[in-house]
Each structure stands twice: as C-alpha cells, then as structure tokens.
Structure 1
Amino acid sequence: MKIKLGIIGFGGMGKWHAENAPRAGVEIAAVCDIEEEKQQDAIKKGYKLYATADELLADKEVNTVILTVPNYLHKEMCIKAAKAGKNVITEKPAAMNVQELDEMEAACKEAGVFFTAHQNRRWDRDMLMVKKAYDENMLGNIFTIESKLHSGNGYMHEWHIYKKYGGGMIYDWGVHLIDQILFMMPGVKIKSIYADIQNVLHEEVDDYFKIIMKMENGITVHIELSTYILEYQPRWLVAGDKGTMIVKNFACDGNIYRTGKMLEKLPPQITETEAGPTRQFAPVAPGGIVTEPLPEIQTDWVDFYRNVDDVLNGRAESKIKISEVRRVLAVMEAAWKSAETGEAILFE
C-alpha cells in the first residue's frame, strides 16, 4: 500500500512532514488545523485542507495520520484515528504518561491499525557516531557517556510554556535524549535513575534538567539540557579505557583522543603547575595524546518514513516499537519522582 498521509496540526513540525515525507514516497493526502493563519498557509501550498480532525479522519483516501498537535491531545486524537481505521504516527512524546500510551496502544490493536511514534532523532548523525563507537568497541570499556544540549535562547514558545498542554523540556527534547541512550544500548537494564529538574526562567514548566542513569553494563549516563546556559558544552563526551570521544555539536565537529603511549608510572618528581604542585594532573608530555577523526556516518531523517512504508507492506518490522516508547515514558516518570523526592530511583 502507498502511504496516503493526513497531517493533523499544520504548525512547524506539520509543515516539516508535509515537505519531507514525500521524499520517501509518501503522498500528502490532506492536512487540517484549527487556526486560520495555518489554514491559509496550507491552501497556498496546495494541500487538501480540513478545518477539523474529525473531517480529515472521515476522508477515505487518508490511510495514515501523523499527529503534530500539542502533547496533551495525542491520546484523544490517536484513539479517534484508530477508530476511523487510520494507521497512527504521533509526534513525540507519544503520550503524557505510560497509562495514556497503554490506552492508545490498546485502541490501535483493537482497530487493527499500525501505531508508532516519530522518534526522528534516532537518525541524528552525532548520536549515530557515538552508537558506532559503542557498538564497535572503539573506545574500549566505556565508563561514562555525557549527552548535553544547551541553548542561550532562554524562553520557550507558544503552548510549550504551559503545563496543562504538556509543555516543558523533558516532554520536548528530554524524550529524544533519553530515547537515544536506550536505542544506543538495547537490552541493557537501567539500575537507577537520579534527576535534578528545575524551573530557571519559566514558572510552570521545566527548562533545566540533569538525569543520571546507572546502567547494568557499568556505564554512567549523564543527560543534561538547559535553555539558558550561555556557553555551550560538547554535545557528547564518551570516555572509555582505550580513548575519549568528543562530538562538539550537531555539525559533528570533534575527534577521538587516545594516548600516544601509556605511562607505566607517574614521573618521580612533583611538577609545579597552575594548579599547584601535582603529579597526576601535570601537563601531558608532547605526543602523549593523539587525535583521530570521528567515524563517518550517512543518515537521513526521512528513513523513518521508509521504515513505516516497509512495515505497512510487510517488508520489515518497525524500528520504533511501542514497548521502547513506553520505556522512555517510564524513565521520564522515574526522573520526575527522583526530582520530587531528592533520591535515586531503583528502576530495573
């Protein structure tokens, strides 16, 4: 079958789907939005337009929908779409919590339709570089991974600043950052979760969080996001006993660093440094650290739709399973509980 997509919500991401899904052979069958300005934009772009989701769901030509509406509407729209016989793709987060997701999944199973979430950042080049290093043991035994995302733009926008609509950064980027780590280490259990969640500039919703996950394989994962850190830290720092990887940004600037020769013992004398007298943290001698380029990765967000097409035509399994989406939501719930209690949460 050919995917004939109905886009419910024609804001920023709705427009992205309309412009990019056709690269994977998807036909944009219809769009809808309740705001007149967005309706006019859809008309100018030549899309079949509906004013409401109910009207779009009644269109027999549409066989699949993407929900690009505020987070709190995902459950309602998903169940309506399933009952209308449409395959359902939700933007992230798929639901506000695990219970909502379970209800959505049940509705889709009862209707016999496909259900998944658009976790497009599984196709991010920077993350896939780190995953390649992990999969291929490029850094030896990894002991820590830091995933950081900082912005100096400060305030969030539109409905994202309101709790009742599902705003806040954990619901926004947090879903992606957690999902990337779990995707990177499939099957690895999380022993504990500790989180610090703060409201720096926003009254209702979080705009800073740090989540620390102790993994069963011995890796400590640090996930940090802020909308108001003005000097950005590297997007990724990954350290193992055979090297360190730094990915500075989404442009994938950075290197792998290794020791040119491993010191068998520290120098016999104490060295005077800016830090004072020390041996352990004296400057490394020339040639002591060498650099390598980051691994090459080719990727495309639209591969998400290529996979959905394969699933609907019986050629492949979904690369984003609802069980994986559920686990991310469970991590988010544990993070909120940890932040509230100030204690680490035993997880799996």
Structure 2
Amino acid sequence: MKIKLGVIGFGGMGKWHALNAPRAGVEIAAVCDIAQEKQKEAIEMGYKLYQTADELLADPEVNTVILTVPNYLHKEMCIKAAEAGKNVITEKPAAMNVQELDEMEAACRKAGVFFTSHQDRRWDKDMLIVKKAYEEGMLGNIFTIESKLHSGNGYMHEWHIYKKFGGGMIYDWGVHLIDQILFMMPDAKIKSVYADIKNVLHEEVDDYFKIILKMDNGVTAHIELSTYILEYQPRWLAAGDKGTLIVKTFGCDGNIYRTGKLLEKLPPQITETEAGPTRQFAPVPPGGIVTEPLPEVQTDWVDFYRNVDDVLNGRAESKIKIPEVRRVLSVMEAAWKSAETGEAVLFE
C-alpha cells in the first residue's frame, strides 16, 4: 500500500509535510485549507486543492491524512477522517486532553484505520545523543537530566496566543519535551510531577514552564522552556557518577566531561577563591577534568513516514503508540494540576 496523503491545513507545518513526506516515498494526493491566501499558495505549488476538509475526505485517492489544523480541531477532524475510512496522523498534541484522545482512538479502532501522532522530535539528533549515552551507560548512573529550550523572540504568533484554540507553549513544545524524556527512559515509571507555569508576556497562555519529573530509576528530569530568556542555556545536561554530558544547541556542539584523576580525597586546607574560602568548590587542579566528543548518531525526521509506511504494509509496529501519546497528555494534565496547587502530583 502506497501512502497517498491528504494534508488538512496548509499552514507552516502543512507545507512542511507536503514538501518533506515525499522523501519517504509518500505521495501528496491533495491538500485543503479554508484561507484564500493558503489556497492560492497550494495551487501555485502544484497541489490538488480542496477548500474544505469534507471535500478532501471524500476523495477516494486519499488513504491517509495528516491533521495540521489548530489543536482544538484535532478531535473533530480525526473522528471525521476515521469515519471516512482514512488512516489518521495528527500533529502534536494529538488531543487537548486524555479524554479527547480516548474518543479519537475509539473512533479509529471502530473504523479499522491506523492512528498515530507526529511526534517527530523523537528523531532529533540532540536528544538521541543523550538517549544513547543513557542506554549505553556512558555516564554511569545518571542522577539528573536537564532539557532546556529558550528563545529571545518573546511573543508567540497566530492562534497560538489564544487559549480556546489550544495555544500556549505546553501544547506547542511542552508535549515534545515531555515525550523526549519518556522516550529516552521508556521502562522508568514517573513517581511525581511538579510544575511551575507562568504567563510572562502573554495574558491567556503559558510562555514559561518548569516541569520536574522524579523517576523510579533515580533520575530527576528538569524540563524548562521560555520564550523570553535572552541568554540561552545548554539544550541538554545529563550528569552521572562517571561523567557529565553537555549538548549546547540543536547543532549538537558539546562534550562529555570526566575526571582525569580520581578525586578520592579533598585537600586538607581551605582554599581562597573568588567565592571566598572553600574546600569543596575550589578550582579543580590541572588535568582533573578531561573531555570526550559526543557520541555519533544518525537520524532523519522523515523516518517517521518510513515507519508509517512499514506499519501500513505489515512490516513493523508503530514507533509512536497511542498509549505513549496518552501518557504524555497525562503528564501535561498533572503539570497543570501541580501548577494550580503548588504541590507535586504523585503519578505512576
């Protein structure tokens, strides 16, 4: 079965799918959008155009759809597509909440169609470097992982600034950052969720959050995002008892740091430093810290579509399963509850 994709919503991500999915052998069968300027652009780019989702769903050539519409429309569009017999891919977040996702999954199961969510950040090179280090024990027993995403651009855009449309950064990037941590450690259970969520520049929706996940494997994951931190922090920090890993940016510049000489015993004397007299935090002597390059990984975002093709043709299981998507939404709901109460929420 060849994937013949209908793109519902021809905004930024709709165009991305239309331009990139063919690299995985996907045929773009049709696109639709209700906005005239996007319709004009689709025609200029040579795509078969429909003005409404209902028209596209009636096209027998389309066997799979990608929903790149505002978040609040995902449930409605997913159920319509399933009832029309189309396989369904939603952009993230798959749904506004767990209850919506359950209804969407039930509709797809009843219709006998495939259903998944485009969690493409599972193919991010920076995250896969940290995942490889975790899986291969490169840092020993990891006790903390920090995932930080900062921007100095400040204000969000279009429908993302409105709560009723499913705007805000937890729905936008938060779903990715949570999913990456859970994907990195799929067998670890979450003991508790604590969150601080703020509206720094936006009245209706969040533009800063800090989410802390305490895992039963001893790792505490810190996830922080801000649209208005003007000096960026490293994208990733992972620290274990055998080393520390830093990935500075999405460009994957960074290192693994290790102790060159085993620091078994601190010097007996107090050292005068810029921080004042201290022993524990005196400068490490020359040769005390050595660096190694980050591990190499190979990845491609359109491997998502290669996996969907394999699933539809019976060659593989989906790499993004609905129970995994549901777990992420559950963490998001726990984070909102924690931010509201100011207390950690016990989880799994």
C-alpha separation in 1, matches of 2:64 and 2:161: 30
Secondary structure of the residue aligned to 1:140 is: coil
1:288 corresponds in structure 2 to: 288
1:159 corresponds in structure 2 to: 159
Count of aligned residue pairs for this structure pair: 348
Deviations along 1:60-105, one digit per CA (max 9) or x if unpaired, are: 0000000000000000000000000000000000000000000000
Deviations along 1:18-56, one digit per CA (max 9) or x if unpaired, are: 000000000000000000000000000000000000000
Secondary structure of the residue aligned to 2:307 is: helix
Deviations along 1:150-208, one digit per CA (max 9) or x if unpaired, are: 00000000000000000000000000000000000012100000000000000000000
Secondary structure of the residue aligned to 1:210 is: strand
Secondary structure of the residue aligned to 1:257 is: strand
C-alpha separation in 2, matches of 1:68 and 1:263: 53
Amino acid at match of 1:38: K
C-alpha separation in 2, matches of 1:183 and 1:319: 10
1:64 corresponds in structure 2 to: 64
2:259 corresponds in structure 1 to: 259
Secondary structure of the residue aligned to 1:314 is: coil
- Listed as ranges, the gaps of 5+ residues in structure 2 are none
- Written as runs of structure 1 = structure 2, the 5 A alignment for 1:64-213 is 64-213=64-213
1:13 corresponds in structure 2 to: 13
C-alpha separation in 2, matches of 1:21 and 1:8: 14
C-alpha separation in 1, matches of 2:297 and 2:4: 30
User: Kindly, what percent of the aligned residue pairs are identical?
Assistant: 89
TM-score by length of 1: 1.00
C-alpha separation in 2, matches of 1:197 and 1:105: 29
- Listed as ranges, the gaps of 5+ residues in structure 1 are none
C-alpha separation in 1, matches of 2:212 and 2:46: 47
Amino acid at match of 2:10: F
RMSD across aligned C-alpha pairs, in angstroms?
0.3
- Written as runs of structure 1 = structure 2, the 5 A alignment for 1:231-310 is 231-310=231-310
C-alpha separation in 2, matches of 1:113 and 1:176: 25
2:52 corresponds in structure 1 to: 52
- 1:263 is displaced (CA, Å) by 1.4
Secondary structure of the residue aligned to 2:291 is: strand
C-alpha separation in 1, matches of 2:16 and 2:325: 22
C-alpha separation in 2, matches of 1:263 and 1:75: 56
2:25 corresponds in structure 1 to: 25
- 1:111 is displaced (CA, Å) by 0.1
C-alpha separation in 2, matches of 1:242 and 1:187: 22
